[in-house]
Structure 1
């Protein structure tokens, strides 16, 4: 995994020709994604499984709503994680705290002692992921602070492969362990994976050479006191409001999920308003932010469709797909793993293609292509659902085709999105804007979780087709404004090589 770079004997070993710290971040993120995607691959199945088989016994629409809010919360809290790193803890300590909290969440879910530990586990994983996710990506960038864009983007591409390697392994192992109703054993495997990641991160601290050690814009003592006062009052007010709602007898899981969806939609509006009014944002940075708003909205639509892999498509695999392959019945969660495998195999090819294309394939164009492709994948899904509505289980090839189309769309949009976020981020809010990119996922996932409720009044083929047409229309609209967006972004300064997602 490491190779010696030519030069003085004292030169530090490298990781595929990159800083050794990339190996530490690669391994930590790989194991965190193992735990995250492994657990996600069985979450909706666990929530809908009958209580007699160890599940929670929830209706499908409720389970999908919870799934959407959970995934959204993971990314929604990334804003707070980026802020804490920028202003209080530094990226390195924030990642450490996040990893500890995530592991505690998976341990809680592994406890076979009732639903309370499941909800606690989901909350802890969401909180920890919000601390870890944006700052891991920012730490990768810190390793290349004094290097050129092409080398940094190459490092991000390797990091991106680590994400998908972890996802692939997690989706293979956790659903297999769950077979036969061994839910909590599977959740325990996710906890063990996170423990491996935490150990690697702690052990490899020295390889980061101080990257992310201190906040870029530490709060003054007076600002810290104000922050603690506001945070304390806000938490107390939120807890009090939730308690009163519960005492009123009107609090339900469905209503709580709907409220969180509204909050998730409100946060990016408020945060963009804050950024545009901030005196720490220069006029040139503000111009780039105007373009970023449109990219953000496009990404939210993409994730609304794409992240139904762990909800609507997972349920379709379980209920309407023939999973017998070569005489072996595969777990439903395995089907979606073609996405991770395809990315591992073809991401380097896309990186090379984008490098050779240079600015001929612009970031807005990549977003437009990604949207059209994810829309086309749900056109295929609509046809498959139409066949299945006749009571016939369809071939697994239908789902594999959907995932492969989505993978190509992801490779256009996701790496480019994180890379352009890094470039357009105002210097005073660098880590926070990484969190804002993940907030586009939060918005798409939360709305997607609520959109699934439409399946109670419209047939599944119509549901898939409606989402497909929305994504395709957004992609075609983006195509019309590619030139204008490039001018706003001054994209001749923006790298054209994928970064990480």
Structure 2
């Protein structure tokens, strides 16, 4: 339920944030250009996953998982409260900072805590995680309908208030039930910082602080400290950080020869995940723009339709992602069980996933190339696109999590899990730059190029599956 409310608040906010940023000031928005708003949305998502690295460190070495999750939730709630205040762009950027850090503290640790509710041999463990994942998707499913409806029909700030209230309920439930059900061990760090380590950690923090001052100070001195350049800096960071992690693990003396081979096997899977997340995460950016600008939303002439469906709100489309995950999950669970040892290998599943991800964008070419930009197309095109890309998610997201744990070097197991989150961060960092190329005039080419590149890489991945399997050194 804690994760239900956290996802409710986060995806409720995401459902209306893009529209809030580019809506005219007199309509309650900030008046940003659609290009700038899209770029901010993408880098926002990237930062959320980048900070998951911080969340793991704080829990393991400073606060313990229970306190880290709680204070992460507090920061998220404060971030939504900031958005609920009608003070313009300053509260937007304050909110981004608070929610980014808060989600980074909460998300990786709340997942880990589910496992601590059960002993290693408890047969209820998988069922517990299934309930947990269902909570995530139910929160994500309901939020766009509730927060989106209030935000777009009444007032954006009232919508953000509902997101804040949702997180408040989550915190209350977590605090009181946590005392009853969570272990005493969750209050303490598993690997607390020693006195000998403190100087090195403080020195590294100081170096990062100085580097940030130098970068942003230099931009200010030359008169280039603006939104686009700040987004560019974080985009570069989102790309560099995963590469640095791979170099560190491959060059470490703690990594054995077999483990090094498995890391090389993981690299093409990681690239595939970046391509997939790049398309999947554009659902709240590019497809959200398409829903608002070029989709037929008014059906008041169809009398037999229920009243609430006679005028569709573009924010409602954000519910399609969790909707299809809920539909597909039992189907794929049965499929993999039935196939057993005959099911495709991990790299083959990734390759199939890329084909479906690319196809979801190729499908969107059809209405853009067959009609001019003034024509409003059926919302079923968006439904079809989401239905296809969520097949890709079922082939890549859970499989990737499993493969990450199996291929991780013993000395870097936690960091390797961070790598999976960094794949999403890298994808959205790249998106922050490429979404600037999306306009009503270029949309057909945009969908075709992004979808086409993904399909081509999926085909290439098929050709190197045997090589990847060899590099996996016995991992299935």
Return the TM-score normalized by structure 2: 0.91
Alignment of 1:291-440 (within 5 A): 291-325=265-299, 326=305, 328-359=310-341, 360-440=343-423
Q: How big is each residue's C-alpha offset from its partner over 1:344-374, in whole Å with a ceiling of 9 and x where there is no partner?
A: 2331221222233234232212211111101
Q: Give the 3-state SS of the residue equivalent to 2:197 in structure 1.
A: helix
Q: How big is each residue's C-alpha offset from its partner over 1:108-151, in whole Å with a ceiling of 9 and x where there is no partner?
A: 11111222111100111111111111222222344456238x96
CA 1:211–1:307 in 2, change beyond 3 Å: closer, same or farther? farther
1:283 deviates by 4.1
1:221 aligned to which of 189, 195, 203: 195
Partner of 2:65: 91
2:172 aligned to which of 199, 205, 209: 199
Cα contact 1:354–1:361 (8 A) shared by 2: no
Cα contact 2:9–2:166 (8 A) shared by 1: yes
CA 1:109–1:368 in 2, change beyond 3 Å: closer, same or farther? same
CA 1:334–1:198 in 2, change beyond 3 Å: closer, same or farther? same
Is 1:136 paired with 2:110? Answer: yes
CA 1:196–1:488 in 2, change beyond 3 Å: closer, same or farther? farther
Partner of 1:100: 74
Partner of 1:65: 39
Partner of 1:263: 237
CA 1:84–1:317 in 2, change beyond 3 Å: closer, same or farther? same
Cα contact 1:139–1:211 (8 A) shared by 2: no
CA 1:292–1:153 in 2, change beyond 3 Å: closer, same or farther? farther
CA 1:86–1:124 in 2, change beyond 3 Å: closer, same or farther? same
Cα distance in 1 for partners of 2:126, 2:473 equals 18
Cα distance in 1 for partners of 2:83, 2:376 equals 32
CA 1:396–1:456 in 2, change beyond 3 Å: closer, same or farther? closer
The total of aligned residue pairs comes to 466
Cα contact 2:364–2:381 (8 A) shared by 1: yes
Provide structure 2 residue ranges, at least 5 long, that are not aligned to the other structure.
300-304
CA 1:393–1:402 in 2, change beyond 3 Å: closer, same or farther? same
Partner of 1:189: 162
Q: Give the 3-state SS of the residue equivalent to 1:222 in structure 2.
A: coil
Cα distance in 1 for partners of 2:411, 2:170 equals 30
Provide structure 1 residue ranges, at least 5 long, that are not aligned to the other structure.
1-26, 495-501
Cα distance in 2 for partners of 1:157, 1:448 equals 31
Q: How big is each residue's C-alpha offset from its partner over 1:388-429, in whole Å with a ceiling of 9 and x where there is no partner?
A: 425210011111000111111111111111222233334444
Partner of 1:476: 459
CA 1:255–1:310 in 2, change beyond 3 Å: closer, same or farther? same
1:235 deviates by 2.1
Is 1:489 paired with 2:463? Answer: no
1:275 deviates by 2.0
Q: How big is each residue's C-alpha offset from its partner over 1:280-328, in whole Å with a ceiling of 9 and x where there is no partner?
A: 4444433322222221111000011111111110111111001135362
Cα distance in 2 for partners of 1:284, 1:141 equals 28
Cα contact 2:18–2:285 (8 A) shared by 1: yes
1:234 deviates by 2.4
The ranges of structure 1 where at least 4 consecutive aligned residues each deviate by more than 6 angstroms after the TM superposition are: none
Q: How big is each residue's C-alpha offset from its partner over 1:247-298, in whole Å with a ceiling of 9 and x where there is no partner?
A: 5421111111112111110000111112223344444433322222221111
1:182 deviates by 0.5
Cα contact 1:102–1:128 (8 A) shared by 2: yes
1:126 aligned to which of 100, 114, 117: 100
Cα contact 1:138–1:434 (8 A) shared by 2: no
Cα distance in 1 for partners of 2:462, 2:36 equals 36
Partner of 1:234: 208
1:191 deviates by 0.9
CA 1:121–1:42 in 2, change beyond 3 Å: closer, same or farther? same
Cα contact 2:328–2:391 (8 A) shared by 1: no
Q: Does 105-114 or 319-328 show the bigger shift? A: 319-328
CA 1:454–1:440 in 2, change beyond 3 Å: closer, same or farther? same
2:429 aligned to which of 443, 446, 450: 446
Partner of 2:54: 80
Return the TM-score normalized by structure 1: 0.87
2:28 aligned to which of 48, 51, 54: 54
CA 1:333–1:211 in 2, change beyond 3 Å: closer, same or farther? farther
